[in-house]
Structure 1
C-alpha cells in the first residue's frame, strides 16, 4: 500500500494497524497531519519537493555550528517528540505525537551527540541529544520564515 506521497512509509510503520494508513485517513494518521500528504494534495510532488528544499535552506541558514542539512525524511511525531527540561525544571514536549514531520538526525563531528531536526509548515526545531535521545536539549525552536 503506497501512501499519498508515494512512499511506503505506511508499510514500514509499526503502528499501521492502529492508524489505518495514509490513504485510508486521507493523510491524517492517528488524526494528525502529515506534511507530505498535505503538500501532495495541494500542489503535487513538485510542491512537496519545493517545501522540502525550502526547509533545508532554512535549517542551513540558521548558522548552527556543524549543522549541514542535505536531506529531510518523514518522521512520526511519536518517535521524535522528545521531552525537554526547561531552565525552571518544567518538562515539555514541543511536537505533536500524531503529526508527521520533515526532519533528520545529523551527527555532530567529534561528539557522541547528534542534532535532531523537525519541521512542519509552522515551525523549525533543532535539538541536541545523546544516544537513543538521551539528555535532549533545545537548541532552537522558532516560527518558520515562510509557510506553505
Structure 2
C-alpha cells in the first residue's frame, strides 16, 4: 500500500512540474501512439525535424506516466536512467530509486525555473504508451500533443 501511495505521489508531482515546464516554454508537441512502431516512428520524426528545429524526443521506454515527464525535464544520459531498470526485489535498490526520483524532481524544478540552460527545445516528440484503459487520457493530461501520429493499432499488441 505504501509503495502504491508513493507511486501515485511521484506521478502527481512530476506530472504537475511537467505541465509547468510546458506552459513556460510552449514547445510544439508531436505525440506518437499505437500498438506497434512507436519507437521507430518517434525516431524518424525526430530525425527529420532536427534538421530545422531543436528537438527532444522520448528515449527507450520513457513513454508512461513516469517517463513522459522525465523526457520533458531534460535529455537524460543512459546511465542516469539505470535505477529505473533495476528490478525492486525485497527492497533491493530502493535507495537508488528514491535518490533517482528526488533528482528527477529537482531537474524538473530546474527546468520549470529556467535553470537548465539547454532546456528549451522547439519541438518535443513524445511517445505515448497504453497498456491499460485510460492510459492515453492520463498522459495527455500531462501534455496534449499539437500533432498526433497514430501507428498501427491491433486488438493485441505485437509484443505480447
Using structure 1 for the length normalisation, give the TM-score. 0.29
Using structure 2 for the length normalisation, give the TM-score. 0.27
Give the structure, 1 or 2, with the largest relative contact order (CA under 8 Å, sep 6 or more).
2
* More helix as a share of residues: 2
